[in-house]
Amino acid sequence: MTEIGRTMGKARISRGELSAQSNNTPIKLRRLDTSDASYRARYAAECDGISDESKVARIERRMRDWIKGPCHVGIVALAGERRVGHVDGEIRGTRLVIEDIYVENAYRSRGIGGRLLEAISAEARGRGATVVEFDTESDNLAMQRVGRRMGFTLTRLYYERQLIDQA
């Protein structure tokens, strides 16, 4: 996937984390479509620390094309009209590769991440996928926990070594 979708594992962003108030608004899920391109692009930009509006606009154009494309699958979580989370990915052959999943901080640990995984899995199944995969960082315990709860199993380990000194 391109820079726009490849936010899994980084997740150093916190869209809305500073401003959101926790509340009990019921959460609805729907398919993610091109009307979500701006939201999704801003999220991706924040993940990569991009604030330059021209770059954000470029990401949005690419995001829109990706969402319109034949391989994209996505679900968005709504509190009323407000988007408070999403999951999306690509169908590659018989696999759904999840590129990104996010729930706004104030709405976490209420099962929304699990619902998003369930919903995107159902979409993928309907489109012929037989396996769903995601990767995450070794210290992302919430993602690992929701994954395991939803029936994912660990199948691979990924190692890296830094070749330059970290500042």
Determine if 138 is a binding residue for ligand COA (CB under 6 A).
no
In the complex with ligand COA, the residue whose CB is nearer, 9 or 20, is 9
From 25, 35, 51, 109, residue interacting with ligand COA (rule: CB under 6 A): 109
Please give the radius of gyration of the chain, using alpha carbons only, rounded to the nearest integer.
16
Cα dist from 102 to 49, 52, 146, whole Å: 16, 22, 12
Residue among 80, 97, 100 at smallest CA distance from 21:
80
In the complex with ligand COA, the residue whose CB is nearer, 121 or 136, is 136
Determine if 30 is a binding residue for ligand COA (CB under 6 A).
no
Q: How many CA atoms lie within 13 A of 16 on its CB side?
A: 17
In the complex with ligand COA, the residue whose CB is nearer, 63 or 113, is 113
From 11, 56, 78, 106, residue interacting with ligand COA (rule: CB under 6 A): 11
Determine if 108 is a binding residue for ligand COA (CB under 6 A).
yes
Residue among 62, 76, 77, 78 at smallest CA distance from 32:
76
From 28, 82, 127, 149, residue interacting with ligand COA (rule: CB under 6 A): 149
Geometric angle at alpha carbon 72, from 111 and 87, rounded to 5°: 15
Determine if 136 is a binding residue for ligand COA (CB under 6 A).
yes
H/E stretch holding 165 reads: none
Determine if 145 is a binding residue for ligand COA (CB under 6 A).
yes
Token pair 């899920």 in the structure block, residue: 29
The site for ligand COA (CB under 6 A) is made up of 8-9, 11, 101-103, 108-114, 136, 140-143, 145-146, 149
